[in-house]
Amino acid sequence: MNEKFMDVMLTFASKVSNNRLLSCIRDAFTDLMPVIIIGSFCTLFSNVVCNTTPGYMSLANVPGFAWLGMFKPLFVAANYGTMNMMAIGIVILLSAKVAESYGNKDKVVSILALSCFISLCVTSATAVAAESGEAVTINNVLASNYTNAQGLFVAMLVAVVSATLYVKIVNSGKLKISMPDSVPPNIARSFEILFPCALVLIIVAGVGFAFEQLLGLTLFQAITTFIQAPLKNVMTGLPGFLLIIFLSVILWFFGIHGTQTLKGIYEPVLLTAFAENEAAYAAGEAIPNIISTPFMSCFSTVTGAGITGGLIIAVLLFSKRDDYRSICKLAIPCGIFNINEPITFGIPIVMNPIMGIPFMIAPIVTSAFGYFMTSIGFCGTMVVNAPWTTPPGLMAFMASGGSIGAVITQLLCVVISFLIYTPFVLLANKQVEAQQ
């Protein structure tokens, strides 16, 4: 193994893992994930269980189950309160994480960041009146395209900037209002941070105002058009996605949790793509994105990073090494729930070229295979963010909204990984025989 290359990868992983911003983004999205999963299942139940639209494949359309349709508004409302509030959730969580990374635990940071975010939103909308057909302007509204996944990048930017500015200004002590000792501490603290909060809000709102006056575009429009859309196109395209997968398994090979290390980079983009899919599915429209968060779970990390479920099968069928066989037997329950640390560090795959090569190849091949099967229409596009610990087969069924083709495709990915790992398991047998 080339030591220089190893040093480069370890340095890269260390910088990414220890980067303040990426760590905060990763942790914020991790905290938000339960809400996203709940919203996903509300979409699933709304469409697969409670949808009474004629001709729609739903349990409510089965004779005797029409009563399930009465619960559709419940799941629609719950979905709106989760998926359509994703940007607001990120503003609150990420701003708190950024402030905490500087040692500041003021709860007002999240409220301040949310105020800054809303100050950049357009609070009027144009609608067409049903009776007259005329365009009508509605004031004092907050459109969901600002608060859902479309607003994620602006939400992240505002959270980071507002929290950082707040901490820097407070720590400087220059705008602090000192109160007498007789004033209760909580009231005194409110006055101490009054001017820092006001200054941060004025700065953020002022930038948004100046941006629109000078360029004729809102900050939302500019970021969505020139940053969010191009980045999404790259990372949800097959080449860009495969690069992320390759970097992840390379880091795993060196003993670094590649998925967690790179999560702060890819997750905001893939979640945006997923949210678009989920919204289209709920509206009965064509699903726009093949690659999204659940796509990665279904076809790139099924049975764990490196698709090590195939390795477990290959070892149990062909390996002559008692240590490999013992480890794989113990790892079966973990592999079923897509946890592969027992294999990664037990075989080990880490720093083991014989097992490292298929470990890097398998997820790239299965990701490309999943993309191909989805693009030709055999596999349903992913529209539900099923928990990553859901067993293979069931995960694909849930994530695709009930596509049998998705189940077959995911199981075939495990078969493909088995075929990739088998020659290397046989090679490991020969290595042991040569040593004896």
Predicted pLDDT at 348: 85
240 burial (CB, 10 Å; 0-12 / 13-18 / 19+) is middle
Range 131-138, long-range pairs (CB < 8 A, 24+ positions):
none
Q: Are 131 and 112 in contact (CB under 8 A)?
A: no
pTM: 0.81
Q: Are 263 and 26 in contact (CB under 8 A)?
A: yes
Give the chain's mean pLDDT.
Answer: 86
Q: Are 60 and 27 in contact (CB under 8 A)?
A: no
Q: Work out the percent of the chain whose per-residue pLDDT is above 70.
A: 93
Per-residue pLDDT of 235-252, as tens digits, reads 889 999 999 999 989 988
- Write phi, then psi, for 127 (nearest 5 degrees): -130, 160
Predicted pLDDT at 138: 75
Q: Are 122 and 218 in contact (CB under 8 A)?
A: yes
Q: How far is residue 181's CA from residue 431's CA, in Å, rounded to a whole number?
A: 76
**All structural domains of the chain with their residue ranges:** 3-235, 239-435
Per-residue pLDDT of 58-112, as tens digits, reads 788 888 888 888 998 998 899 888 888 889 999 999 999 999 999 999 999 999 9
> In Å, what is the CA distance from 10 to each residue of 17, 250, 253, 305?
10, 10, 11, 18
Give the H/E segment covering residue 277: helix 258-282
Q: Residues with Cβ < 8 Å from 199, sequence gap 6 or more?
A: 165, 169, 175
- Write phi, then psi, for 429 (nearest 5 degrees): -60, -45
- Write phi, then psi, for 33 (nearest 5 degrees): -55, -40
- pLDDT confidence band for 1 (50 / 70 / 90): very low
Instruction: Name which residue leads in pLDDT, 323 or 117.
Output: 117
Q: Are 372 and 26 in contact (CB under 8 A)?
A: no
Residue 57: pLDDT above 70?
A: no
CA 127 to chain centre: 32
Predicted pLDDT at 361: 94
Q: Are 184 and 146 in contact (CB under 8 A)?
A: no
Predicted pLDDT at 243: 93
CA neighbours within 13 Å on the CB side: how many for 364?
A: 16
Predicted pLDDT at 389: 82
CB atoms within 10 A of CB 257: 16
Q: How far is residue 209's CA from residue 189's CA, in Å, rounded to a whole number?
A: 30
Q: How far is residue 185's CA from residue 178's CA, in Å, rounded to a whole number?
A: 11
Give the H/E segment covering residue 194: helix 194-215
Predicted pLDDT at 259: 81
Q: Are 355 and 422 in contact (CB under 8 A)?
A: no
Peptide bond just before 363 cis, omega within 30 deg: no
> In b/e form, how buried is each residue of 13-27, taking b as 16+ CB within 10 angstroms?
beebbeeeebbbbbb
CB atoms within 10 A of CB 294: 28
pLDDT mean over 259-277: 86
Q: Work out the percent of the chain whose per-residue pLDDT is above 90.
A: 35
Residue 6: pLDDT above 80?
A: no
